[in-house]
Amino acid sequence: MNFDEVYQQLENAVSAVAELLNSVSSSATSLKDKEQQLAHIEKTLRQFKDKTIPIPDELRNFKLKLVMEVDHLRQQMIFKDNVTRLMQNTFPSIYNSSTIKTKQTKRKRRKAGGRVTLQEMIDTKTIQPDQEIYAILKGNFIRAKITHEGQIKIHTTGQCFDSPSSAGVAVTNNSVNGWTFWFIKEGNKSRDLDYYRTQHKKIIKRGEE
């Protein structure tokens, strides 16, 4: 095996590590969402305790689940940071080149229909900033709006959340699919956010053709 073959194998190995670290990077957004959910649940539990209201077992179990998920995601981020430093110090030229290729691959995958954010939907004008949205919980309307930063702001609390699901968890204290939980009313019709997400993906796909 000559030097070029050894270098190629080494480059392939470094690229594989870069791809793995890139997949771990997506955990950062999930970690932020989970931390927001956990903070809200802890606030709710404190309110229950202050008012001497019995805390439901479901709420305790949900907090425990979130604590474990947050801890796991934090460990992933620590792993990513440690390995990234190691690769940058050991193979700086190969690693930096592989990182650029990985980012290009990530962009292609996102265009092909990966994770969608509200900010991306604002960019394609699928939804508008300051758009009013609502959900129905136990017969009551929960009202919120989509901010210019692509967050969901709950009217009653003023809290902002980065994803529909984290906002849904905040008002229900349960795990929910935020894309089907929140609705936009247009005239006599109401459509869930998942409908607008689908429209966004269609716009992205047409732009690639």
Provide the token pair at 27.
Answer: 């955990």
Each residue's pLDDT tens digit, 29-87: 677 888 888 888 888 888 888 888 888 888 888 888 888 888 888 887 787 777 777 77
Decide if pLDDT at 112 tops 50. Answer: no
Provide the token pair at 163.
Answer: 């994803």
Rounded Cα–Cα distance for residues 60 and 63 (Å): 5
pTM of the model: 0.54
Rounded Cα–Cα distance for residues 139 and 153 (Å): 21
* Residues 169-179, mean pLDDT to the nearest whole number: 87
* Residues 179-198, mean pLDDT to the nearest whole number: 93
- Domain ranges in the chain are 3-111, 119-208
Q: What pLDDT band is residue 104 in, cutting at 50, 70 and 90?
A: very low
In degrees and rounded to multiples of 5, residue 160 shows phi and psi of: -115, 145
Instruction: Give 42's contacts (C-beta < 8 A, 6+ positions apart).
Output: 63
Strand ranges across the sheet with 189-192: 160-161, 152-154, 140-146, 131-137, 183-186, 189-192
Rounded Cα–Cα distance for residues 76 and 65 (Å): 17
